[in-house]
Amino acid sequence: MTVSSAESRNGNYPGKGIGEPVGVAILGKGTVGTEVLRLLAEFSDNLEHRIGGPIEVRGVAVSNLDKHKDAPEVDGIYLTDNARELIDRDDVDVVVELIGGIEYPRELVLEALKNGKSVVTANKALVAAHADELSDAANAAGVDLYYEAAVAAAIPVVGMLRRSLAGDQVQRISGIVNGTTNFILDAMATSGMSYEDALAEATRLGYAEADPTADVEGHDAASKAAILASMGFHTRVTYDDVYCEGITKITADDIEAAKQSNETIKLLAICERLLDDAGNTVGVNARVHPTLVANDHPLASVDKSYNAIFVEAEAAGRLMFYGNGAGGAPTASAVLGDLVGAARNKVHGGRAPAENPYANYEVVGFGEVHSRYHINMTVNDRVGVLADLARMFSQAGISLSAVRQEESDDGAHLIVVTHAAQERTLSEIVDALTNHADVQAINSVIRLDA
Amino acid sequence: MTVSSAESRNGNYPGKGIGEPVGVAILGKGTVGTEVLRLLAEFSDNLEHRIGGPIEVRGVAVSNLDKHKDAPEVDGIYLTDNARELIDRDDVDVVVELIGGIEYPRELVLEALKNGKSVVTANKALVAAHADELSDAANAAGVDLYYEAAVAAAIPVVGMLRRSLAGDQVQRISGIVNGTTNFILDAMATSGMSYEDALAEATRLGYAEADPTADVEGHDAASKAAILASMGFHTRVTYDDVYCEGITKITADDIEAAKQSNETIKLLAICERLLDDAGNTVGVNARVHPTLVANDHPLASVDKSYNAIFVEAEAAGRLMFYGNGAGGAPTASAVLGDLVGAARNKVHGGRAPAENPYANYEVVGFGEVHSRYHINMTVNDRVGVLADLARMFSQAGISLSAVRQEESDDGAHLIVVTHAAQERTLSEIVDALTNHADVQAINSVIRLDA
């Protein structure tokens, strides 16, 4: 392998050349695209200094020209409904993808990468589904693929996993990565309102979309969990690998019961390294589900629509990152940070560290991870029921950390909290309890953060 | 300016060559150096994948060979007391400086940079005093200068300011960046103990050094404030620019009074952009002083020796980063993250964004910033004193947000909380109060976070 002269070893490569403009194509002009255009204008002098050359927006691709042509932020900027023609231009160096959806942006991003353009995307669904294909294309062309805005907007967790913890070993990532569901759960906890009322409030205030499915069913958080697990464990984890359970079944009673035990229910994305007894990694897992968090844990006090991500690494210990996880301006901040990185590399040479799945751990199914269950059931109020049910747990090898029984009009409420056991075993015992003659109803099953 | 061919524009530059070893010299083998060596051995396979070639430690420079030669972590590694000879070796690509002090490491780092070696340092005092000279040398040679570990260990705030917020405008940084003083203040708040007893406890547990001056007088935090302000505001701010007041005068009474008003005393490093009425930046300031923080502010609940840094940026909004701000392993994690970055650039080409003081704002003196004061004094208990003192504030143009008077045996305790006013004016009125015939004593003056 040839080793170059000392001069060209590092830095000051003949790239675009210091001072030359970096051409940018922006695909999509929704909330984030509009904010990106506004900030590019406001910060242009600063960005030029930070990049080493000015950003020049070559055009903005939109689906409906009529809707945007009179908007002030595209004044003097080429507007087109032909995204392909825009990204194929020779004077475009970086493509910013802000369209949403998966298939159409996938084609555009692949085409851009293959043509030597670096790409910045905020599209979590795209990255969670196709990081492998996109990274391969970026690597083949020697260009950058950045997606900080795909996870928790301006909270720089992707950059942190990409770079800051590059000399460490990430053990676990757990976080609140969806603002809509955190707003709903927080509203329920603060006001005692039902899930339905809290969702209506979130919709009214613009925190939930007209169709809230992707948020409340946990799909959005699952995409982010896949991205975090892939970066953190150097293993390809896709959206389909992530167990996903949303918040639609959480009731005001669940929230109240959590309060009674000094806990808070949060929708957590959990990415975990599974170790054998000798401490060797046997696989990784990513999942999203409502989780009881002790009130003295920093994640418990993350309120409103804020996001927070907890990272545990071998040497660094516990780190937490907190901020706005959504919204036009915070997402645009992350997009612009990535754009400066990609543009800087076009001017100065070099590439950002790419997704790097060298470790290639087995992605372990959810049934094999260890969970703790908080089971709330209504049982017949007769002598011997508690002993009978306790024996079921014990025969399944599950030990209990707490049992609480309360009388009520329609039978007895029995609350059982287990120690950590394999998810599959816990799930089987819930099935068995459901079919037990003395169990009238399983009112809720909520996992505890281990 | 020549634009190179598409192939060499970005990535895959002829650097050291993929797979070639990156030679590293480590200067210093204290707590951090020892931990760096341990982790380099433990993570070697992972680091090779992340860098693109293996790390090879060419040697470790120590001041006293006899003290280290039998240590297991240098088994098979060249140990020397001649640091210059080690960094001058042709097969050393990256120098890791973990010596401490300023003048000697400054000479070594400059020599390394001038000879084309990239440098990773954890030395906050060195960077806070000489970032300009070191950055110039790194830029001239086209190599990297990394110092994530110089501020808050593994909390990646330097990387975040360097890269993640590169497309945003930082307005304010405020943080707990010294673990020793946070431990002492937290111990005082939790147990009611005196400053002296809490310091003794911190020393006993290893949180405070035998000579705690640099921590308790705020010098350590001031170095970090200088680095954060320089990165955040793209302006050279040095240690000497930072107003610095430590925690040695904080009493158990102060802590108790803060509790009464739902506040907590923290030693904050505050870096601030000063704006005129039109919102234009007129200067920047960095300072360190004990600060009353409202209990519902996230910084108030940062306990023990943890660090946390709050960053407010125009588009990103409020971000917080929390974690271990000191200790061998967390500091080594940051050093290794930087080492991977520097080594990767040696293999793949490119340079990390350097300190970039293009904005060159005026560094405004402390007297000109706006503060809020919490003044606790003992006054003569006679009719008209309160009115008299209130008039003094009013004549100085300072409005009061709260006044509380409590009877005591030796006179009346008067607690005055001001609205924001210029530090110089507030300081002058404290002088005037000190000389007032009816003021027996100024018991404490503590600033509030504005």
Listed by start position, the domains of chain A span 20-152+326-346, 162-322, 368-446
**B333 and A316 in contact by Cβ < 8 A?**
yes
Over the stretch A301-323, which tens digit does the pLDDT of each residue have? 999 999 999 999 999 999 999 99
**How much is the pLDDT for B410?**
79
C-alpha to C-alpha distance for A271 and A281, rounded to whole angstroms: 13
Helical residues (DSSP H) of B78-212, grouped into ranges: 83-87, 103-114, 124-141, 157-159, 179-191, 195-204
Of the listed ranges A55-64, B115-124, B407-416, the least confidently predicted one is: B407-416
Please name every residue paired with A170 in a beta bridge, in sequence order, or none if there are none: A313
**How much is the pLDDT for B15?**
56
**How much is the pLDDT for A209?**
93
Give me chain B's average pLDDT, please: 93
Q: Of the candidates B142, B315, B329, which has its C-beta nearest A315's C-beta? A: B329
Burial label, A193 (beta-carbon count in 10 A; 0-12, 13-18, 19+): middle
**A10 and B345 in contact by Cβ < 8 A?**
yes
Confidence of residue A10 (pLDDT cuts 50, 70, 90): very low
**How much is the pLDDT for B30?**
95
CA–CA min distance A275, chain B (Å): 16
| Averaged pLDDT, A327-336 | 97
Burial B57-75 (b: 16+ CB within 10 A, else e): bbbbbbeeeeebeeeebbe
Q: Of the candidates A316, A338, A349, which has its C-beta nearest B324's C-beta? A: A316
Q: Of the candidates B148, B164, B344, which has its C-beta nearest A353's C-beta? A: B344
Confidence of residue A345 (pLDDT cuts 50, 70, 90): very high
For tokens 């050279």, name the residue: B236
Higher pLDDT, B325 or B228: B228
SS (H, E, C) chain A: CCCCCHHHCCCCCCCCCCCCCEEEEEECCCHHHHHHHHHHHHCHHHHHHHHCCCEEEEEEECCCHHHHCCCHHHCCCCEECCHHHHHCCCCCCEEEECCCCCHHHHHHHHHHHHCCCEEEECCHHHHHHHHHHHHHHHHHHCCCEECHHHCCCCCCHHHHHHHHCCCCCEEEEEEECCHHHHHHHHHHHHHCCCHHHHHHHHHHCCCCCCCCHHHHCCHHHHHHHHHHHHHHHCCCCCHHHCEECCCCCCCHHHHHHHHHCCEEEEEEEEEEEEECCCCCEEEEEEEEEEEEEECCCHHHHCCCCEEEEEEEECCCEEEEEEEECCCHHHHHHHHHHHHHHHHHHHHHCECCCCCCCCCCCCECCHHHCEEEEEEEEEECCCCCHHHHHHHHHHHCCCCEEEEEEEEECCEEEEEEEECCEEHHHHHHHHHHHHCCCCEEEEEEEEEECC
Q: Of the candidates A49, A351, A359, which has its C-beta nearest B348's C-beta? A: A351
CA–CA min distance A348, chain B (Å): 6
Over the stretch B271-283, which tens digit does the pLDDT of each residue have? 999 999 999 999 9
Q: CB contacts < 8 Å between A and B, how many?
A: 298
Confidence of residue B284 (pLDDT cuts 50, 70, 90): very high
- Give the nearest chain A residue to B14 (CA atoms): A4
**How much is the pLDDT for B107?**
98
* A118 contacts on B by Cβ (under 8 Å): 10
Residue A170 and residue A313 in contact, taking contact as beta carbons nearer than 8 Å: yes
Confidence of residue A411 (pLDDT cuts 50, 70, 90): confident
| Identity of the residue numbered B299 | L
| Averaged pLDDT, A239-268 | 96
The residues, any chain, with a CB within 8 Å of residue B260's CB and separated by 6 or more, are none
**How much is the pLDDT for A15?**
56
Helix (H, G, I), strand (E, B) or coil at B186: helix
Please determine, for residue B411, whether its predicted confidence score (pLDDT) is greater than 90.
Answer: no
**How much is the pLDDT for A450?**
59
C-alpha to C-alpha distance for B11 and B3, rounded to whole angstroms: 15
The residues, any chain, with a CB within 8 Å of residue A241's CB and separated by 6 or more, are A226, A229, A286, A363
Query: At the top level of CATH, which class does the domain A20-152+326-346 belong to?
Result: alpha beta
C-alpha to C-alpha distance for B219 and B231, rounded to whole angstroms: 19
Name the CA radius of gyration of chain A, rounded. 25
Over the stretch A393-405, which tens digit does the pLDDT of each residue have? 999 999 999 999 8
**How much is the pLDDT for A382?**
87
CATH-assigned architecture of domain B162-322: 2-Layer Sandwich (3.30)
Give me chain A's average pLDDT, please: 93
Q: What is the set of active-site residues of A?
A: 224
**How much is the pLDDT for A7?**
29
DSSP B414: E
Of the listed ranges A14-18, A428-432, B50-54, B197-201, the least confidently predicted one is: A14-18
DSSP E strand stretches across B248-364:
263-275, 281-294, 306-313, 317-324
HSE-up of residue A36 (Cα within 13 Å, Cβ side): 34
Closest CA to A305 of A194, A155, A151, A178: A178
**How much is the pLDDT for B178?**
98
For tokens 């990387």, name the residue: B159
**B169 and A18 in contact by Cβ < 8 A?**
no
Q: How many residues does chain A have?
A: 450
Confidence of residue B7 (pLDDT cuts 50, 70, 90): very low
| Averaged pLDDT, A223-234 | 98
| Averaged pLDDT, A15-24 | 88
**A322 and B320 in contact by Cβ < 8 A?**
yes
**How much is the pLDDT for B406?**
85
Confidence of residue A269 (pLDDT cuts 50, 70, 90): very high
- Give the nearest chain A residue to B165 (CA atoms): A337
Q: Find the helix or strand (DSSP H, E) in which B443 lies.
A: strand B439-448
C-alpha to C-alpha distance for A121 and B335, rounded to whole angstroms: 30
C-alpha to C-alpha distance for A42 and A61, rounded to whole angstroms: 21
**pTM of structure:** 0.95
- Give the nearest chain B residue to A155 (CA atoms): B319
Q: How far is CA B210 from the centre of its chain?
A: 21
**A166 and B337 in contact by Cβ < 8 A?**
yes
Please determine, for residue A329, whether its predicted confidence score (pLDDT) is greater than 50.
Answer: yes
Please determine, for residue B12, whether its predicted confidence score (pLDDT) is greater than 60.
Answer: no
**How much is the pLDDT for A73?**
86
Please determine, for residue A4, whether its predicted confidence score (pLDDT) is greater than 80.
Answer: no
For tokens 């960053």, name the residue: B311
> How would DSSP label each residue in B109-131?
HHHHHHTT-EEEE--HHHHHHHH
Q: How far is CA B178 from the centre of its chain?
A: 7
**How much is the pLDDT for B40?**
98
Q: What is the set of active-site residues of B?
A: 224
CATH-assigned architecture of domain B368-446: 2-Layer Sandwich (3.30)
| Averaged pLDDT, B69-83 | 92
